[in-house]
Chains A and B, each alone.
Chain A
Amino acid sequence: MDTGAILMLLYVFVLACFAGYQLISKVPPTLHTPLMSGANAISGITVLGAMLAARIGPGAPFNASTILGMLAVALASINVVGGFMVTDRMMGMFKSKN
Chain B
Amino acid sequence: MSIGTTLSGTGHVALVVWMVVGWGMSSDPPPFEVMDVSVVSGLEFAALTQGVQPDLPSSEPVAIEIPVVDQTPSILVEQTPPEVAELPQPVIPPAAETPPEAPDLTAPETSVTDAAPEIPDMPQIINPEPSAELGSNPRPIPRVAPRVAPEIIAPPEPDATVAPEVAQAAIEEVKATIEKITEPAEETTAPEAAANQIVTEAEEPTFAPEISSRPKTRSQQAAAVVEPPNESAVDPVAAALAAAGLVETPTPTQTPTVTPRLSDGQLSDGDKSGFLRQIGNCWNVGPTSTGALNTIVEMSFSMTPDGRPVEGSFELLSSSSGNSNDAITAYEAARRAIIRCKGDAGYDLPRDQYAQWQNVILTVDPTAMRNR
A, B bound: no
